[in-house]
Amino acid sequence: MKPLPVDSRILSLATQVTESADQDVPMLLLKLKDILSSVPAGSNESQKINQDLYYYNLLQYCVFVLKQDYTKVSGGWATAAHIAEMLSLCCMDLEVKEDPEEFYNKLLPSAVDNLLFLGRRLQARFVRMMKDEERNTFLRSFRTVTDAICRLCGRHIQLTSNVLQNRHFQQLLMTDNVETSTICMSVLQNILRMNRAVLIQVPESTLHCILDELIYKISSTSNPVIGNAAVTLLLLITKSDAQLLTTLVTRYKGLQTLLSKQWTGKGFDKILNQLLDLLYSENYKAGKTQRLHQAACSIQAAWRGFQTRRRLKQLPKAVTTLQRNFRAKKEQELKSLKKQKEEESLRQQLQLQRQRAMRQFHERQLTLLEIVHAGQVDKHIHEMEERAALTIQRYWRGYRARRNFHQQKKYLQQYKAAVVLQRAVLKFLEKQRKRKVYSLWKQPRSLSDEQRLVLQKKLNDYIKFHPASEMSEEMSRELHHQAQTKLAQYLLKSNQDRKAEQHRKALLAQVHTDVDQLMCAPSLASSTMKDLTIFMSRSVPVVVKAKQCHNAMLKHTRSPWWKKLEDLVDEEIVPEDLLSAELGTLFIGGSKA
> What are 232-259's pLDDT values in tens digits?
888 888 887 777 777 777 787 777 788 8
Residue 335 has pLDDT above 90, yes or no: yes
- pTM exceeds 0.75 for this model: no
C-alpha to C-alpha distance for 235 and 192, rounded to whole angstroms: 11
pLDDT above 70 covers a percentage of the chain that reads 88
CATH architecture group of domain 8-195: Alpha Horseshoe (1.25)
Give the model confidence (pLDDT) of 174-205 as tens digits. 888 888 888 888 888 888 888 888 888 888 88
Q: Give the ranges where 253-268 is alpha helix by DSSP (H).
A: 255-262
What is the pLDDT of the chain when averaged over all its residues? 80
Is pLDDT above 90 for 329? yes
Contact between 57 and 15 under an 8 Å Cβ cutoff? The reply is no
Beta-bridge partners for 587: 592
Q: Is the pLDDT of residue 12 over 90?
A: no
What's the rounded mean pLDDT across residues 472-488? 85
Task: Specify the pLDDT at position 345.
Answer: 92
Q: Count how many Cα atoms sit within 13 Å of the Cα of residue 6 in the half-sphere of its side chain.
A: 13
C-alpha–C-alpha distance, residues 427 and 56, integer Å:
79
Q: What is the pLDDT of residue 350?
A: 92
Residue 592 has pLDDT above 80, yes or no: no
The reported pLDDT for the residue numbered 219 is 82
113: left (phi over 0), alpha (psi -120 to 50) or beta: alpha
Is residue 409 predicted with pLDDT exceeding 60?
yes
**Predicted pLDDT at 581:** 43
Residue 123's pLDDT band, with cuts at 50, 70 and 90, is confident
Q: What is the dihedral of CA 179, 184, 187, 191, to 10 degrees?
A: -160
CB 574 within 8 A of CB 566: no
Q: What is the pLDDT of residue 396?
A: 92
563/344: higher pLDDT: 344
* pLDDT at residue 590, rounded to an integer: 39
Q: What is the pLDDT of residue 585?
A: 40
User: Is pLDDT of 574 > 80?
Assistant: no
- The percent of residues above 90 in pLDDT, for the chain, comes to 8
Taking only the tens place, the pLDDT of each residue in 62-114 is: 888 888 887 878 778 888 888 888 888 888 777 777 777 888 888 888 888 88
- The CA radius of gyration of the chain, in Å to the nearest whole number, is 53
Q: Is the dihedral of CA 11, 16, 22, 27 positive or negative?
A: negative
CA distance 17 to 57: 10
Q: What is the pLDDT of residue 289?
A: 65
pLDDT of residue 185: 86
Report residue 573's pLDDT band, with 50, 70 and 90 as the boundaries.
very low
Q: Per-residue pLDDT averaged across 19-33, rounded?
A: 78
Helix axis angle for 108-128 and 132-155, nearest 10°, is: 160
Per-residue confidence (pLDDT) for residue 469, from 0 to 100 = 66
Question: Given this model, what pLDDT does residue 347 score?
Answer: 92
Residue 379 pLDDT more than 50? yes
End-to-end CA gap in the chain: 77
Task: Tell me the pLDDT tens digit for each residue of 159-178.
Answer: 888 888 888 888 888 888 88
pLDDT score recorded for residue 442: 53
Residue 538 has a pLDDT of 66
Question: pLDDT tens-digit profile of 266-276?
Answer: 777 788 888 88
